[in-house]
């Protein structure tokens, strides 16, 4: 049982259909019982170059048979398997003859459904524990006895089903790894997918290659080949519109679509005036001149600034920026169109987390009511009846970057720091003006310029400047100044969900501070944000 105290989300939904183009590929199916780590399991499987999909726990044995996975993983979950109404899997899956491994709650489901007993443990186990191997087999090959594994459970297996044996234990858990080798059924009481589990990645790899006998076919090159084929089959001779932002998702999508359909693709870049210094020019130059992909540049800077001038509430800023983006997008799409398809950079985590696909009742096609590829800022009008083309919806973020590299995208686009849709507008605290935008743009450029010179740009999740709407007294050249402070925000993170402030050298702070104060008119003070997430957030607004 995991440490989560929240009830499983969307677990009662109808079993999901597989993503397009996956039926003929080797895959591992993950049945999700509400674990906070289900998505991470899928990522770890894919790191072995084998495809994986997360499916609801209610997916039936017949549906799994049609998917024909090489293996099945039952995820953890927040429930106790003996509680009334606790989620269970279709009992027929045990007759499929497919290798199955249960993780924590998934292991308890396996034990209970096959005739064993699960009860509340005498000693709950959370955090790190040493795993002592009693029998090394294919699953535990090259996993050292005594390895640290990450435990998170209050229940334990008391009686094993017939045919099962114990492979490993911890000090508090006699049945930490169990197996029925003849039927290729396994259970682990810990979370091998988390980084805290030493040898966890090896165990997962063993399950994928040695138990399930998979081949490493999930590669960027194979994805591009398959995606190009699917795009051509879906789009035919129709035209596709893509809102290009310059981020890795939309840039990769543009390359992929152009490779598939060429001039049938129209890329639109809406410059709202809130981008970082030099980025709009760099984007247009790379796409038009280096890669010969046409981009329709829309200069809407004055329109957006007029919408947010005098507005200090951050949510109102986002709302106005989102509304104006929709207005500009609608006008320009009508001018450049007509278009049959809207391309969106939907990624696999969006697919996992969202079951609210919008279906056109006449055609059965998904239609766009959100624009994700540029701003994440709200819904498109219902009368824009695009069909969606979402070639990246099988990929995680790190996989998008691998695909981008395989297609030759420049490193400065592929490894660009995340940037919020509203851009600098939410890095100016309070009211926005043309003057404040220019001050922040220049200060932000200095931050990025210096860490690039030091060769440490990619050491950070994000590195940027924030402008505060206050002034403080300073002295420059024997003259009194009354100017803005700039906040430096440099953070380290794995995924942006949590983050820590970066312990950068004082010498670097001094260089950045001196440059900002001397080169950016209107600034006389620089401070450093030493707040982690939580309790703070990455952005200030």
Say whether pLDDT at 23 is over 60.
no
Say whether pLDDT at 1 is over 90.
no
C-alpha to C-alpha distance for 42 and 1, rounded to whole angstroms: 19
Of residues 194 and 362, the one with the higher pLDDT is 194
Given 108, 153, 191, 258, the catalytic residue? 191
Given 53, 125, 193, 399, the catalytic residue? 193
What's the burial of 494, exposed, middle or buried (CB within 10 Å: 0-12/13-18/19+)? exposed
- 452-456 mean pLDDT: 93
pLDDT of residue 480: 82
pLDDT of residue 451: 95
Q: Is 191 annotated as catalytic?
A: yes
Say whether pLDDT at 440 is over 60.
yes
Confidence grade of residue 337 (pLDDT, cut at 50, 70, 90): confident
Q: Among 9-18, 194-203, 217-226, 526-535, which is the least confidently predicted range?
A: 9-18
| 417-437 pLDDT, tens digit each | 888 888 999 999 999 999 999
Of residues 121 and 163, the one with the higher pLDDT is 163
Q: Are 265 and 254 in contact (CB under 8 A)?
A: yes
Q: Is 108 annotated as catalytic?
A: no
| pTM, rounded to two decimals | 0.76
Report the chain's mean pLDDT, rounded to a whole number.
Answer: 86
pLDDT of residue 128: 86
Given 39, 53, 104, 169, the catalytic residue? 104
- 19-25 mean pLDDT: 53
- Strands of the sheet containing 295-299, edge to edge, are 295-299, 265-271, 240-243, 341-343, 387-389
pLDDT of residue 456: 94
| 279-297 pLDDT, tens digit each | 999 889 888 888 889 899 9
Contacts by 478-483, CB closer than 8 A, 24 or more apart: 481/524, 482/524, 483/522, 483/523, 483/524, 483/525
- 388-413 mean pLDDT: 90
| 365-376 pLDDT, tens digit each | 444 443 333 333
pLDDT of residue 124: 64
| 84-117 pLDDT, tens digit each | 888 999 999 999 999 999 999 999 999 999 999 8
Confidence grade of residue 230 (pLDDT, cut at 50, 70, 90): very high
C-alpha to C-alpha distance for 97 and 433, rounded to whole angstroms: 66
Say whether pLDDT at 490 is over 90.
yes
C-alpha to C-alpha distance for 309 and 296, rounded to whole angstroms: 26
């Amino acid at each position: 049982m995991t440490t989560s105290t929240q009830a499983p989300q969307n677990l009662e939904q109808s079993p999901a259909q597989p993503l397009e183009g996956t039926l003929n590929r080797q895959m591992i199916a993950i049945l999700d019982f509400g674990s906070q780590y289900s998505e991470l399991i899928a990522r770890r499987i894919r790191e072995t170059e084998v495809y994986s999909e997360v499916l609801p726990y209610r997916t039936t044995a017949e549906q799994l048979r049609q998917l024909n996975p090489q293996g099945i993983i039952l995820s953890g979950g927040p429930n106790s398997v003996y509680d009334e109404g606790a989620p269970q899997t279709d009992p027929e899956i045990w007759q499929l003859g497919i290798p199955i491994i249960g993780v924590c709650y998934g292991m308890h489901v396996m034990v209970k459904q096959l005739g064993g007993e699960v009860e509340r443990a005498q000693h709950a186990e959370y955090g790190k524990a040493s795993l002592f191997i009693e029998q090394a087999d294919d699953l535990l090959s090259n996993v050292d006895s005594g390895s640290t594994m990450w435990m998170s459970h209050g229940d334990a297996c008391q009686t094993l089903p017939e045919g099962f044996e114990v492979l490993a234990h911890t000090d508090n858990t006699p049945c930490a790894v169990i197996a029925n080798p003849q039927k290729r059924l396994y259970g682990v009481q810990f979370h091998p997918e988390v980084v805290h589990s030493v040898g966890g990645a090896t165990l997962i790899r063993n399950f994928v290659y040695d138990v399930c006998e998979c081949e490493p076919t999930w590669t960027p090159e194979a994805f591009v080949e398959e995606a190009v084929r699917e795009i051509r089959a879906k789009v035919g001779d129709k035209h596709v519109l893509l809102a290009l932002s310059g981020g890795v998702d939309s840039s990769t999508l543009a390359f992929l679509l152009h490779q598939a359909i060429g001039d049938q693709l129209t890329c639109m870049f809406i410059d709202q005036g809130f981008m970082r210094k030099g980025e709009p020019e760099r984007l247009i130059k790379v796409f038009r001149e280096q890669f010969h992909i046409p981009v329709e540049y829309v200069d809407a800077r004055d329109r957006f600034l007029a919408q947010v001038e005098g507005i200090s509430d951050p949510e109102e800023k986002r709302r106005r920026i989102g509304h104006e983006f929709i207005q500009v997008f609608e006008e320009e799409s009508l001018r450049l169109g007509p278009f049959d398809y809207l391309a969106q950079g939907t990624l696999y985590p969006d697919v996992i987390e969202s079951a609210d696909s919008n279906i056109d009742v006449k055609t059965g096609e998904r239609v766009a009511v959100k624009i994700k590829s540029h701003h994440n800022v709200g819904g498109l009008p219902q009368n824009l009846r695009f069909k969606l083309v979402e070639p990246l919806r099988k990929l995680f973020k790190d996989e998008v970057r691998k695909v981008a590299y395989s297609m030759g995208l420049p490193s400065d686009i592929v490894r660009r720091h995340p940037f919020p849709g509203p851009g600098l507008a939410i890095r100016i605290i309070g009211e926005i003006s043309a003057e404040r935008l220019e001050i922040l743009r220049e200060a932000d450029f200095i931050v990025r310029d210096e860490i690039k010179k030091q060769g440490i740009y990619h050491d950070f999740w994000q590195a940027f400047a924030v402008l505060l709407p206050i002034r403080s007294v300073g002295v420059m050249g024997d003259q009194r100044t009354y100017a803005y402070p700039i906040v430096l925000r440099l953070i380290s993170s794995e995924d942006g969900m949590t983050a820590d402030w970066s312990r950068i050298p004082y010498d670097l702070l001094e260089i950045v501070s001196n440059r900002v104060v001397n080169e950016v008119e209107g600034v006389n003070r620089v401070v450093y944000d030493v707040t982690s997430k939580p309790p703070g957030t990455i952005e200030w607004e």
